């Protein structure tokens, strides 16, 4: 069984358009199919690449360039609900003011909405949502990437077709000097959340009974470990993605300091309703069964003892403790080294935790029922359109550097798309557990493919062949995150 992944490529530098709602550069023949009548933005080359990627991915190829072209017709029907998940991790780069290579650009989302409208015959609901990093403002990001203008375009045009924008964040963290000073509860997904217990279907189940201690997203370590102990592996997931008939992921092409790369598989962290239920690393070093840092020594053990005790105190939310933490955190960095200089917090190739968490989330998305149960067949319909116009290398997901790639990658299998993206970035999928372990899942499989089954179809002749045939000198060569450098790159 072959799986086609479409890779559209702009031979000249592509610039993101800056005029929401990012109208198409021309009136395409297929717009007549549903009477779409938009203004045009002749400079919008991103729209053209997204459109081409859908064709290259094999969607309704026989009708391409006719008024009957309907690329999503096999994925969604009239009256259904589609959830679109961009990567909206942060308002901007961690250390700089730019953002276009940090988050999904709205110009990639716009053509997806247009072609969904055609497939749904102008009747149904589109939900665009994500749960950004907890110290980031979702609504500011939504405005930044032009979501409201896209929403207004459709909500004005057709009352039977609704575009809804939802913030999946359940809380917002106020931080001062890298210390959480306040936690503001948010309403989260308006449809609520669902608790899933993956139990022995979890990728963590093989670690049950080993005494490992997980660290999640917040100072409260007990909450994380209570959710992942005694044979239970509990996650809280926003309801809207689960009830949707089709899930469309629109990630960025980026590296990630905890798992190598983040495209489709890792990005599902954004559909969570409680990020502290997500294990990020196992406390300790490999010598004592952890993956927090590579090697234990006296200095690292002292740091860990101080930090864990401090976080236990911070979990009490005592204002005086928070004040002290802000005062002394700078001193701690001087003594133990800054995070971008020292490997800690699972930010290295030995992280054996995040791939498990990410694949668990994919299992829930594909097989989770609205009542919190798990089915063992009929996985959710899925499609991916990767924003690779400008990618990120180095210390991603929001502290790396831009890489201009001028590509859009599209396909209906998240593992295959991620494998293609890894290869195009210059990485060996066999050295990235997040990807090669995804191919191995037999309980609640995320893919039914083998790596050898993946066929790339592209307007770039270097990539128009089987994925295994693409050569070292035919791809980009992204810098790996600092904790992964020299470990995951393709060999010449």
pLDDT for residue 478 is more than 50: yes
The encoded tokens of residue 316 equal 């009490």
What's the Rg (C-alpha) of the chain? 22
* DSSP code at position 56: H
The encoded tokens of residue 283 equal 């406390």
Tens-place pLDDT, residues 104-126: 999 999 999 999 999 999 999 99
Contact 276, 169 (CB under 8 A): no
Strands (E), 314-470: 381-393, 401-411, 454-458
Q: 16-30, 206-220, 320-334: which has the minimum mean pLDDT?
A: 320-334
Tens-place pLDDT, residues 134-161: 999 999 999 999 999 999 999 898 899 9
- Rounded to whole angstroms, what are the CA distances from 158 to 19, 129, 146, 335? 22, 21, 19, 60
pLDDT level of residue 298 (50, 70, 90 thresholds): low
C-alpha to C-alpha distance for 453 and 192, rounded to whole angstroms: 39
Domain ranges (residues) in the chain = 3-197+229-275+349-474
The encoded tokens of residue 112 equal 């997806």
How much of the chain exceeds pLDDT 90, in percent?
82
C-alpha to C-alpha distance for 199 and 188, rounded to whole angstroms: 25
pLDDT at 335: 46
Single out the residue of 369, 354, 378, 365 nearest to residue 280, CA to CA.
354
Q: What is the dihedral of CA 184, 185, 189, 194, to 10 degrees?
A: 130
């Amino acid at each position: 069984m072959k799986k086609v992944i479409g890779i559209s490529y702009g031979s000249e530098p592509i610039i993101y358009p800056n005029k929401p709602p990012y109208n198409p550069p021309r009136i395409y023949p297929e717009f007549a199919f549903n009477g779409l009548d938009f203004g045009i933005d002749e400079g919008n080359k991103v729209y053209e690449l997204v459109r081409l990627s859908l064709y290259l991915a094999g969607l309704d190829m026989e009708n391409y360039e006719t008024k009957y072209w309907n690329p999503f017709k096999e994925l969604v029907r009239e009256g259904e609900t589609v959830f679109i998940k961009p990567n909206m991790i942060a308002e901007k780069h961690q250390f700089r003011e730019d953002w276009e290579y940090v988050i999904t650009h709205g110009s990639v989302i716009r053509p997806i909405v247009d072609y969904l409208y055609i497939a749904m015959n102008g009747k149904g609901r589109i939900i665009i949502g994500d749960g950004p990093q907890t110290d980031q403002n979702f609504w500011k990001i939504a405005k930044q990437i032009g979501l409201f203008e896209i929403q207004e375009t459709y909500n004005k045009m057709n009352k039977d077709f609704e575009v809804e924008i939802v913030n999946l964040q359940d809380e917002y963290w106020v931080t001062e000097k890298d210390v959480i000073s306040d936690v503001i509860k948010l309403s989260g997904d308006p449809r609520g959340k669902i608790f899933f217990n993956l139990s022995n279907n979890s990728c963590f189940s093989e670690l049950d009974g080993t005494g490992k201690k997980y660290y999640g997203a917040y100072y409260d370590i007990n909450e994380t470990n209570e959710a992942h102990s005694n044979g239970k592996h509990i996650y809280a997931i926003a309801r809207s993605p689960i009830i949707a008939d089709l899930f469309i992921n629109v990630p960025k092409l980026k590296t990630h300091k905890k798992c190598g790369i983040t495209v489709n598989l890792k990005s599902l962290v954004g559909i969570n309703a409680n990020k502290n239920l997500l294990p990020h690393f196992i406390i300790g070093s490999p010598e004592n069964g952890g993956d927090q840092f590579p090697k234990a020594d006296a200095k690292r053990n002292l740091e860990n003892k101080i930090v864990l005790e401090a976080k236990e105190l911070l979990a009490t939310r005592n204002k005086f403790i928070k004040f002290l933490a802000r005062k002394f955190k700078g001193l701690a960095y001087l003594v133990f080294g800054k995070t971008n200089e020292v490997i800690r917090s699972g930010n290295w190739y030995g992280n054996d935790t995040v791939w498990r968490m990410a694949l668990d989330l994919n299992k829930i998305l594909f097989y989770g029922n609205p009542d919190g149960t798990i089915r063992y067949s009929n996985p959710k319909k899925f499609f991916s359109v990767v924003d690779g116009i400008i990618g990120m290398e180095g210390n991603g997901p929001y502290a790396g550097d831009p890489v201009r790639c001028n590509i859009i990658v599209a396909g209906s299998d998240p593992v295959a798309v991620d494998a293609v993206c890894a290869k195009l970035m210059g990485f060996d999928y066999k050295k990235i557990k997040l990807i090669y372990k995804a191919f191995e899942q037999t309980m609640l499989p995320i893919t039914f493919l083998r790596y050898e089954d993946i066929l790339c179809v592209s307007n770039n002749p270097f990539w128009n062949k089987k994925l295994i045939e693409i050569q070292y000198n035919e791809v980009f060569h992204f810098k790996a995150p600092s904790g992964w450098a020299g470990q995951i790159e393709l060999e010449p």
